[in-house]
């Protein structure tokens, strides 16, 4: 059997996971990285991304909403802003959150376009007022 390493996932609410794993793959801001027992110590900033870990034939998955990962020879600690194991994710809730976020992005894009158009209209109007003033002087 492969040598194991202790993986702990901690959120502001709880200790989500404490488990001996053979290998784990997490998502840093620079991309995915893998850790096995005896890995050199390091610290990584985690992106909003997937964590997967394997023991024997079983691979499990978790959603990590950003945070930090500290690796020492015998332990990996993930401090996550929020984290859920795959089986604990409320899919309806995530779908509703996705729809809300998409609507907000759409609204913000429309507002940004309106802002750019209003700025251009303001420039035209200011120019016309300035030029009209010239006619008054002549
Ligand atoms: P929502 O709008 O649905 O609350 P969110 O992205 O604002 O989503 P977060 O602030 O990231 O939510 O998380 C708040 C808490 O809710 C955390 O404890 C997180 O683990 C949990 N959580 C968020 N979404 C889900 C989900 N779909 N299933 C299970 N737990 C969730």
- pLDDT, one tens digit per residue, over 69-117 is 999 988 999 999 999 999 999 999 999 999 999 999 999 999 999 999 9
Domain containing 53 equals: 5-86
Model pTM score: 0.88
Same domain, 32 and 80: yes
Q: Are 71 and 35 in contact (CB under 8 A)?
A: yes
Pocket lining: 82 vs ligand 1, CB cutoff 6 Å: yes
Cα(97) to centroid of ligand 1, in Å? Answer: 9
Q: Which of 32, 38, 28, 45 is nearest to 6 (CA)?
A: 38
- The total of structural domains in the chain comes to 2
Pocket lining: 126 vs ligand 1, CB cutoff 6 Å: no
Helix (H) or strand (E) holding 112: helix 91-137
Q: pLDDT, tens digit, for every residue of 23-79?
A: 999 999 999 999 999 889 999 999 999 999 999 999 999 999 999 999 998 899 999
Same domain, 116 and 71: no
Atom of ligand 1 nearest to the CA of 84: 20
How far lies 83's CA from each of 18, 51, 62, 114, 126, in Å?
13, 10, 7, 37, 52
Same domain, 35 and 82: yes
In this prediction, residue 136 has a pLDDT band, given cuts at 50, 70 and 90, of confident
């Amino acid at each position: 059997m492969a040598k194991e390493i202790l993986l702990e996932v901690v959120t502001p609410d709880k200790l989500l996971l404490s488990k001996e794993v053979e290998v784990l793959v997490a998502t840093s801001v620079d991309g995915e990285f893998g850790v096995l027992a005896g890995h050199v110590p390091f610290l990584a900033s985690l992106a909003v991304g997937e964590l997967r870990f394997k023991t024997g034939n079983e691979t499990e998955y978790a959603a990590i909403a950003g945070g930090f990962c500290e690796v020492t020879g015998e332990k990996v600690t993930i401090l996550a802003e929020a984290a859920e194991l795959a089986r604990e994710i409320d899919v309806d809730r995530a779908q509703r959150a996705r729809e809300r976020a998409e609507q907000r992005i759409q609204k913000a894009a429309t507002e940004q376009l309106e802002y750019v158009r209003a700025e251009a209209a303001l420039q035209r109007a200011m120019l016309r007022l300035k030029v009209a003033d010239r006619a008054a002087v002549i």
